[in-house]
Amino acid sequence: MQVNRFYLNRIIFDQDRILELPYDISRQLINVLRCQVNDQVVIFDGSGFEYKVKIINVRDKICRVKLIEKNFVDNENKFKVTIFISLIKQNRFEYALQKCTELGVFAFVPFYSSRSVYQLDKNTSFIGENKISRWKSIIKEASEQCGRSSVPELFDPIPFETACKKATDSCSIILWENEEKIKLKSFLRNSKDLLKENDFNINIIVGPEGGFSPDEIKSANSIGIKSVSLGDLILRSETAAISAISNVFYELN
């Protein structure tokens, strides 16, 4: 039977191994999942540790739980994939966050380029705290649902040029529908030594609905980011991200 899982960034039990859960988790346990005293759940802190706990009472709409057992779970991928994803339409962007988290992405770096739906002020990454908070919640809930032992980091949105510079810290590729020479599959099979040199870290840059401009591709290539193709079909941005990640883990894991 699947046990419900919840992420807490800070888990500290008292001397009696008792912990008060936050209001939002307590509310979900009581009102949504209809949990009762003696029901068990799992909480995790993103460091690899999972804590199986039992609800012992509910006071003032707050659940108090007692630790049953603590385990270290290492189910993360050896390859750390960071997705640099353009700010596409909200529902598609959020779908990409959810599915890429389920597939095992290490981190997300949103960016805006010349053809992005969102055109932010070039001097600021501000996009609204409510939206950022919603995105983090989607990532957290996807991590809880799929059984991950960590939660991917979400960075603030940045311009395309800044994203490319940030991506040069590891082996990096940019998905481009007009790339005719290099397919993602062949790149991965021929770059295992390069990935090993980069501690098995890889950055994947995914463009907006209108794709990248030739100048943007040229700019990325000039600093060592390889442009690769996913095939002959034109994919939506969120589909391209999911397809690329699936290919990476299939070829390298």
Q: Are residues 131 and 238 in the same domain?
A: yes
Confidence of residue 181 (pLDDT cuts 50, 70, 90): confident
CATH number of 30's domain: 2.40.240.20
Query: What is the pTM (predicted TM-score) of this model?
Result: 0.85
Average pLDDT value for the chain: 89
Q: Are residues 157 and 220 in the same domain?
A: yes
d(CA 252, CA 236): 24
DSSP of 220-246: HHHTTPEEEB--SS---HHHHHHHHHH
d(CA 108, CA 134): 14
Residue 167 has pLDDT above 70, yes or no: yes
Average pLDDT of the residues in 126-142:
86
Residue type, 5: R
pLDDT at 127: 63
Annotate 105-130 with b (16+ C-beta within 10 A) or e (fewer): bbbbbbbbbebbbbebeeeebebeee
Q: Are residues 57 and 85 in the same domain?
A: no
160, 175, 169, 183: which is closest to 224 by C-alpha? 169
Domain boundary among 72, 90, 105: 72
Q: Are residues 179 and 155 in the same domain?
A: yes
pLDDT at 252: 78
Q: Are residues 184 and 141 in the same domain?
A: yes
Lookup: tokens for 23: 């209001």
Domain boundary among 48, 72, 96: 72
Confidence of residue 122 (pLDDT cuts 50, 70, 90): very low
d(CA 243, CA 241): 6
Asked if 200 and 79 count as a contact pair (C-beta separation under 8 A), the reply is yes
Backbone angles phi, psi at 27, to 5 degrees: -60, -40
Q: Are residues 156 and 234 in the same domain?
A: yes
Q: Are residues 12 and 123 in the same domain?
A: no
**Counting Cβ atoms within 10 Å, is residue 167 exposed (0-12), middle (13-18) or buried (19+)?**
buried
Confidence of residue 140 (pLDDT cuts 50, 70, 90): very high
Q: Are residues 35 and 150 in the same domain?
A: no
Task: List CB contacts of 141: < 8 A, sequence separation 6 or more.
Answer: 98
Q: Are residues 46 and 117 in the same domain?
A: no
Least confident of 115-129, 136-150, 212-226: 115-129
Residue 33 has pLDDT above 50, yes or no: yes
Domain of residue 169 covers: 80-252
pLDDT at 125: 46
Torsion angle of the four alpha carbons 48, 41, 98, 146, in this order, in degrees rounded to the nearest 10: 70
Q: Are residues 111 and 165 in the same domain?
A: yes
Total domain count for the chain? 2
Residue type, 10: R
Q: Are residues 196 and 97 in the same domain?
A: yes
Pairwise pLDDT comparison (161 vs 209), residue with the higher score: 161
Span 189-208, pLDDT tens digits:
888 777 777 677 899 999 99
Residue 114 has pLDDT above 70, yes or no: yes
Q: Are residues 185 and 97 in the same domain?
A: yes
Domain boundary among 72, 89, 117: 72
30, 78, 28: which is closest to 200 by C-alpha? 78
Which percentage of the chain shows pLDDT scores above 90? Answer: 64
Which percentage of the chain shows pLDDT scores above 70? Answer: 94
CATH number of 176's domain: 3.40.1280.10
Average pLDDT of the residues in 205-220:
93
pLDDT at 15: 94
pLDDT at 124: 43
**Counting Cβ atoms within 10 Å, is residue 74 exposed (0-12), middle (13-18) or buried (19+)?**
exposed
Average pLDDT of the residues in 107-113:
94
Quick one: DSSP state of residue 2?
P
Residue 73 has pLDDT above 70, yes or no: yes
